[in-house]
């Protein structure tokens, strides 16, 4: 189990993002010394499961370094067997106390799910990949990408907790929290939208 609590892990994410937003990043733990220190083993303090969008570069937007974040990304941060398995590895084997599910505004995958009925057919693997976003389009009751994106983020966090016993057990035990957050491309700010578990005030 990690020596860091879910609340402490989240606080570190918030502080790092704040440094990035204000243009005062420290670029911590990115040197040769850190590389050598973590070569023998890793003890990351957070999982980042986010969209693959090139503007969501994990260690940059949270101002973290080598060995800090266990990162899983795919287009539209869509829950899949491999994503859940990777998250479970980080939680169960590495003892990571926090999972951040990171969506963002103007997400191309969310827009593709919205446009599915009106646009031409997508290549089959892409269509299959974004299919899990469609319930959010229906639930939002609008084609507003922001509303659909938030609904999809909530669905993703709920699906992760529902489908992973390891995640649900960690939350119940108080050793794990899941934060669904939205990243604003223009400002660089990460805003928590939905939280499962205890991350303090």
| Binding stretches for Zn ion (CB under 5 A) | 51, 53, 107
Nearer to Zn ion, 149 or 170 (CB): 149
Residue closer to Zn ion (CB basis): 51 or 61: 51
DSSP 146-181: HHHHHHHHHHHHHHHHHH-HHHHHHHHHTS-EEEEE
Cα of first residue to Cα of last residue in the chain, in angstroms, is: 23
With contact defined as beta carbons under 8 Å apart, do 43 and 67 qualify? yes
Q: Which residues pair with 191 in a beta bridge?
A: 182
Rounded to whole angstroms, the Cα distance separating 84 from 114 reads: 25
Phi, psi for 2 (deg, rounded to 5): -70, 145
The least CB distance from residue 161 to Zn ion, in Å, is: 22
Considering the complex, what minimum distance in angstroms separates the CB of residue 108 from Zn ion? 6
Residue 112 or 171 with smaller CB distance to Zn ion: 112
CB-wise, 40 or 123, nearer to Zn ion? 123
Dihedral, CA of residue 131, residue 88, residue 104 and residue 138, to nearest 10: 30
Name which of 100 and 107 has its Cβ closer to Zn ion. 107
CB of 99 to Zn ion, least distance (A): 18
Q: Which letter, b or e, does each residue of 10-21 get, where b requires 16 or more Cβ atoms within 10 Å of its Cβ?
A: bbbbeebbbbbb
Shortest distance in whole angstroms from residue 1 CB to Zn ion:
32
Q: How far is the CB of 7 from Zn ion (least distance, A)?
A: 28
Measured distance CA(89)–CA(122) in Å, rounded: 32
């Amino acid at each position: 189990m990690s020596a860091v609590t879910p609340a402490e892990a989240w606080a570190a994410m918030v502080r790092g993002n704040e440094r990035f937003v204000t243009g005062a990043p420290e670029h911590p733990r990115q040197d040769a010394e850190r590389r050598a220190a973590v070569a023998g083993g890793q003890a990351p303090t957070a999982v980042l499961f986010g969209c693959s969008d090139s503007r969501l570069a994990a260690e940059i937007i949270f101002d973290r370094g080598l060995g800090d974040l266990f990162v899983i990304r795919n287009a539209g941060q869509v829950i899949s067997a491999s994503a859940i398995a990777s998250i479970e590895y980080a939680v169960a084997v590495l003892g990571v106390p926090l999972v951040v599910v990171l969506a963002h505004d103007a997400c191309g995958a969310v827009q593709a799910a919205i446009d599915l009925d009106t646009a031409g057919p997508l290549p089959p693997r892409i269509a299959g990949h974004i299919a899990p976003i469609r319930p959010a389009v229906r639930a939002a009751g609008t084609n507003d990408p922001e509303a659909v994106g938030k609904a999809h983020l909530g669905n993703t966090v709920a699906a992760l907790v529902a489908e992973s016993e390891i995640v649900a057990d960690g939350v119940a035990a108080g050793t794990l929290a899941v934060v669904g957050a939205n990243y604003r491309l223009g400002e660089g700010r990460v805003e928590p939208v939905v939280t499962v578990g205890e991350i303090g005030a």
